[in-house]
Amino acid sequence: QVQLVESGGGLAQPGGSLRLSCVASIDNFSIYIMGWYRQAPGKQRELVATIFRGGSTNYADSVKGRFTISRDNAANTIYLQMSSVTPEDTAVYYCKARHLLSGQAYWGQGTQVTVSS
């Protein structure tokens, strides 16, 4: 059974930093495209960042230069380093794994990030 477990969410002050982690209980982790998404209250879920097995990445324009996604294939883990956060970054952050060939996707349960002074 595939499980994605996020952690690291919480309260941050504007301008501060947070680091999210997602541990995947999944076979052949390296063949999955991994990503972080977020959903703010009353809004649709949106892509934050993705990372491919070789390490190439892409980011939403709203987080470019502030957030960094990374992965550790040996540990079946991805990270999201969030810096210079703003109240607009407040959302539930979800981890997603998508199989490179089949497209089968899995989601974590989410972790709340709140940015407030």
Q: Who contacts 20 (Cβ-Cβ below 8 Å, separation ≥6)? A: 6, 7, 8, 9, 36, 79, 80, 82, 93, 95, 111, 113
pLDDT of residue 43 exceeding 90, the answer is yes
Q: What is the pLDDT of residue 23?
A: 98
* Per-residue pLDDT, 96: 98
Mean pLDDT of 78-87: 98
**Residue 1: pLDDT over 90:** no
